[in-house]
Amino acid sequence: MPEYNVPQISQDVYWVGVRDWNRRMFDALIPLPQGTTYNAYLVKGSKKTTLIDTVNPGFERELAGKVNQVADLADVDYLVMNHAEPDHAGAIPHVLNVSKAATLVTTEKGAKMAQEYYGVPEERMRTVADGDTIELGGKTLKFIEAPWLHWPETMFTYLIESKVLFPCDFLGSHTAAGFYDDEVEELIPFAKRYYGEIMMPFSKMGAKALDKIDDLNIELIAPSHGPIHRNPGRILEAYRKWTAGETEEKVIVVYVTMWNSTEAMIKTMVETLLGEGIEVALYNLINADLGDIAKDLVDSRAIVLGTPTVLGGMHPQAIYAAHLVKALRPPLKYGVVLSSYGWGGGALRQAGEILGPTKIEVVGALEVNGPPSDDDYEQIVEIARQLSAKITQ
């Protein structure tokens, strides 16, 4: 009985990654409700053996154990680094130490990072550019530069004869569940969440990368997180839509309230939008999961932000949310800000300062003193109707 499960995903191509079932936070920012995986792959040609990406620091032994079950880690010839972030490149020093003759294969920018982050000496690296290939004996690796997904050095590797694409973070999902795409019940929601968190700020680069791989014959997409896509069309089609910024008749509502005045305004807004047939995704920032917000930002056409005034500006939770909305660069077209204040206000002004430079068109902004009055409610209903007209026009 072997110690590890090392599935063969294609002839002489093995998954040697690890499952991090218990991880609950990524980049000290993104919640991981189902953990994640760090997928690494071993490709055995008749002459050369290649390891594609590695794993998060702390899993070196497991990676080595898995590789050793189907080959000998000491005999690896090439170590491909598609991306320099430590969740995939963190075990490079360990691998290069065991595989004394292995050469690290990466982009020019990747080489600089491998030196800086992992102390890889120049003589152990080979830099590749777009379209370069490496022969393994009956198998050919082709490198596709795909920068800024989501770091400057990123590339994809394509195994020509086997028709397998290794796009690293691109097309991935954070979940430790399942192995193939069709084994994961919520594959698209998880992939969408991941896209929103990691790739959405780089949607243009994502669209470019999709164009670049458009004429490749792809049977399997083997990303660095989550399930392997043996139905590649499904994820590619979703990414086409997301990178193009296609939105739904949908509003994401994010708010925070201390004494429920803002919440009362938000409720009226939401009821009216729902009555107009608009889809609503609502999050109270106090208990919202950032990944869920990122997921719904991917295809919402509008945002409603609700915040009381606190110390002359927005509530700190709303500042955080507004900053994230700006940084993630979602395809939002319209926005509304609703706020309650006690004496001097200030939240609306600050919302304008943060979101002003974005492309979001402000359809309404209302600041009320204390709990909303009947007049205020009427105004909110009016704003909601205007918003829904914009959304459905």
Ligand X SMILES: Cc1cc2nc3c(=O)[nH]c(=O)nc-3n(C[C@H](O)[C@H](O)[C@H](O)COP(=O)(O)O)c2cc1C
Q: Tell me the backbone φ, ψ of residue 86, rounded to 5 degrees.
A: -60, -20
Please, what is the minimum distance in Å from the beta carbon of residue 365 to ligand X?
16
Q: Interface mask (CB under 6 A) for ligand X, residues 356-385, using x and -?
A: --------------x---------------
Least Å from the CB of residue 287 to ligand X: 16
DSSP state, 34? Answer: T
Judged by DSSP in three states, 224 sits in coil
Peptide bond into 174 cis (omega under 30): no
Per DSSP, the residues of 236-301 read HHHHHHHHTT---SEEEEEE--SSSHHHHHHHHHHHHHHHTT-EEEEEETTT--HHHHHHHHTT-S
Contact stretch for Fe ion (CB under 5 A) within 80-88, 189-197, 237-245, 357-365: 80-88
Q: Nearest Cα to 51, choosing from 5, 26, 82?
A: 82
Q: Please state, in angstroms and rounded to a whole number, the distance separating the CA atoms of residues 306 and 318.
A: 8
Considering only the stretches 14-22, 283-291, 310-318, 383-391, report the one whose residues sit in contact with ligand X under the rule CB under 6 A. Answer: 310-318
Q: Is 321 in the site for ligand X (CB under 6 A)?
A: no
Q: Does 344 bind ligand X (CB under 6 A)?
A: yes
Contacts with Fe ion in 147-186 (CB under 5 A)?
A: 169
Output the smallest distance, CB 34 to ligand X, in A.
34
Interacting residue with ligand X among 91, 235, 305, 310 (CB under 6 A): 310
**Complex with Fe ion: residue 113 or 164, whichever CB lies closer:** 113
Binding mask 243-262 for ligand X (x = CB under 6 A): --------------xxxxxx
Element spanning 30, H or E: strand 30-31
Closest CA to 255 of 349, 352, 338: 338
Does position 308 interact with ligand X (CB under 6 A)? The reply is yes
Q: Which residues would be at the binding site for ligand X (CB under 6 A)?
A: 257-263, 308-312, 340-346, 370
Q: Which residues would be at the binding site for Fe ion (CB under 5 A)?
A: 85, 87, 169
